[in-house]
Amino acid sequence: MAKRIYLDTNFVIRFVESEDTSLLKVIERADSGLLELFTSELTLAEVLVGPFKSDDHALVAFYEEFLTTDDALQVVPIDRTILRATARIRAQLGTRTPDAIHCATALKTECSVFLSSDARLRMPSGLTQVALDQLHDEL
């Protein structure tokens, strides 16, 4: 069974907008069936802010194409189950709503690893945060 990994928004931005080849290995492992990758629909709203500010229509189009469910990445809709779990996470950990939505989505999709370099994140039980610079150690 493939390991389930949740991709935070900063992973997606770094993958798309940098030349970090270590991130490509995560996508390649998902393409080969070794990993299952998940993210929330919220990720689209977050990644589009920069391209809209800079009026970069090509990058907007790229993100919209990249953040569609396919064999390598499942983009999870925000539903009432996720919203209820979000409220519970916020109540327990004091997490900001967007971060809690990401955590709730990761838990709903049974991910065990949460890829993010956000040092402010507080993880609920059942999730292990892995910073992007620790990818090789954990995957």
pLDDT of residue 137: 57
Task: List the domain range (segments joined by +) for residue 133.
Answer: 3-138
- pLDDT band with cut points at 50, 70 and 90 for residue 40: very high
Asked whether 71 and 105 are in contact (CB, 8 A), the reply is: no
Percentage of the chain beyond pLDDT 70 is 97
Tell me how far apart the alpha carbons of residues 129 and 23 are, in angstroms, rounded to a whole number.
16
Q: Which string of b and e fits 19-36 if b means at least 16 CB within 10 Å?
A: eeeebeebeebbeeeebb
CATH of the domain at 55: 3.40.50.1010
pLDDT of residue 1: 72
pLDDT digits 0-9 by tens, 82-138: 999 999 999 999 999 999 999 999 999 999 999 998 989 999 999 999 987 787 655
Summarize the confidence of residues 54-61 as an average pLDDT: 97
pTM: 0.93
Q: How many domains does the chain have?
A: 1
